[in-house]
């Protein structure tokens, strides 16, 4: 008989799913009419549409976010800063264990800067830009032109855990086992 996880086991399984299929995004685009750069932060989990129930369960588990269908994929997306704090709270209690944790740590710092409205200060905006430059596709052409001496944020060395929680493994293998 197949056992369904509950409590901390379920949380570990969710972390495993996110470690495998999740992405942490930050985008800083050209200044709007206000003269300020536009900052977008996002957490997504993308699975084949045949596994839509996986992302539907993320909405239920986290209590935030939405599911979108695009091409052959079901996409769980969270983009409200208030809701992203919920995601960070989960990963604080049940940390990612793959190398993805390196990007997550920078992304979480960016979310905290925006959530605390520190990005209106020059030094924090520069930190956001440095984080953006070190994740994903790097800075946009306009951002690189505006900050030609930009130094991407440093990441730390990944250290693999000595053991893995079996429910994390279950989550990691859920979609692409």
Q: What is the pLDDT along the chain (177 residues), one digit of tens a residue?
A: 456 667 899 999 999 999 999 999 998 887 766 777 889 999 999 999 999 999 999 999 999 999 999 999 999 999 999 999 999 999 999 999 999 999 999 999 999 999 999 888 888 988 998 998 888 677 777 788 888 888 888 877 888 889 999 999 999 998 775
Give backbone dihedrals phi and psi of 166, rounded to 5 degrees, phi first.
Answer: -60, -30
Residue with tokens 């440095």: 130
Buried b / exposed e over 83-113, threshold 16 CB at 10 Å, is bbbebbeebeebebbbebbbbbbbbbebbeb
Q: DSSP label at 159?
A: -
Gyration radius of the chain's alpha carbons: 17
CA dihedral sign of residues 105, 107, 110, 114: negative
**Domain range list for the chain:** 7-156
The gap from C-alpha 169 to its chain's centroid, in whole angstroms, comes to 19
- Could you tell me if 127 and 107 are in contact, meaning their C-beta atoms sit under 8 angstroms apart? no
The gap from C-alpha 131 to its chain's centroid, in whole angstroms, comes to: 13
**Highest CATH level, class, for 7-156:** alpha beta
Contact by Cβ (8 Å): 6, 158: no
């Amino acid at each position: 008989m197949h056992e369904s996880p509950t409590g901390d086991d379920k949380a570990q399984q969710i972390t495993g799913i996110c470690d495998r299929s999740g992405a942490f995004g930050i985008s800083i685009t050209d200044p709007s009419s206000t003269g300020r750069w536009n900052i977008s932060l996002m957490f997504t989990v993308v699975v084949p549409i045949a596994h839509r129930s996986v992302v539907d369960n993320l909405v239920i588990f986290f209590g935030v976010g939405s599911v979108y269908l695009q091409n052959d994929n079901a996409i769980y997306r969270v983009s409200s800063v208030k809701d992203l704090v919920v995601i960070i709270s989960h990963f604080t209690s049940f940390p990612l264990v793959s190398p993805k944790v390196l990007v997550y740590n920078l992304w979480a710092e960016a979310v905290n800067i925006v959530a605390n409205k520190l990005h209106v200060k020059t030094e924090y905006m520069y930190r956001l830009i440095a984080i953006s430059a070190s994740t994903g596709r790097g800075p946009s052409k306009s951002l690189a032109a505006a900050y030609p001496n930009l130094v991407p944020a440093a990441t730390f060395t990944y250290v693999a855990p000595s053991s893995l929680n079996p429910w994390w493994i279950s989550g990691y293998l859920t979609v692409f086992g």
